[in-house]
Amino acid sequence: MTQTQRYSTVAITLHWLIAVLIIVMIFAGWRTDDMRQALLAGDMSVDPQTVAMLFNWHKTIGLLILTLSIVRLVWRLTHKQPSLPEGMNGFERFAATATHWAFYVLIIGMPLFGWIAASASSFPSYFLNMESLPIPQLVGDDEALYGVVAQIHSKSAWAILGLLALHIAAALKHHFIDRDDVLTRMVVFLKPRG
C-alpha cells in the first residue's frame, strides 16, 4: 500500500460526520448545561421546556454519535487502513496509533457515560424530544451515580478537544512540514503529492 492511498468513502464520511457532530455537541452541551444551572439557580428568564428540549436533542444526537462511532470502529477493524508514511519515526508512529485509539475510547465512552448519566437522572429522556419515544434507561434513578458519570462525561469533552488539537497539529505538520500525503488521505479535495 502506498502512503497516497485514501481512506475509503465510508471511513472518510464517518470520520467527518462524527467529528462535526462531536464538536457541535460539546459546545451545545456546555451552553445547555449553563441554561440548566441558571434554571436551578432560579433564573426566571430560562424556559424549563426549552432546557428539556435541548437536553433531549443532546441525548438523541449523543446516541447517534455512539452508534456511528461503533460502526466506525467495526469498519476500522474489518477494513485495511492506509499505511503510515515510511519516513515516520517510532515515536510518531506510536503517537499516531495511540491518538487514534484514544479517540475511539472517547467517542464511544463519552456518549455511553452520557447515556448512563441520563438514565441515573430523575429527568425523563426522549428521542427527538418526543414523549412517545422514551430513551431506554441503562440504570435506575441514582443521584450519586449521576454525579460521577456526569463528571466523566463532562471532562471527556476536554480530553476530546485536547486530542483534537494534537490531531490537527499533526495533520498540519504532515502536510506543510513533512510534505507527505497523510492529510490528503482524509481530505477529499486535496490532491496527493504522489
Structure confidence at residue 5 (pLDDT): 83
Q: Which residues contact 176 (CB under 8 A, 6 or more apart)?
A: none
Q: Which residues of the chain have pLDDT under 50?
A: 1-4
Domains, in order of start, for the chain: 9-185 (1.20.950)
Of 9, 148, 135, whose CA–CA distance to 60 is shortest?
135
| pLDDT value, residue 194 | 64
How far is CA 182 from each of CA 14, 82, 85, 175, 187, rounded to the nearest angstrom? 17, 9, 7, 7, 9
pTM of the model as a whole:
0.93
pLDDT, position 156: 97
- Which pLDDT tens digit goes with each residue over 54-97? 999 999 999 999 999 999 999 999 999 998 888 899 999 999 99
Share of the chain above pLDDT 70, in %: 97
> Nearest CA to 150 among 120, 107, 128, 123?
120
Q: List pLDDT tens digits, range 33-44.
A: 999 999 999 999
> What does the DSSP assignment read for 89-135?
-HHHHHHHHHHHHHHHHHHHHHHHHHHHHHHHSSS--BGGG-TTSBP
The rounded percent of the chain whose pLDDT value lies above 90 is: 90
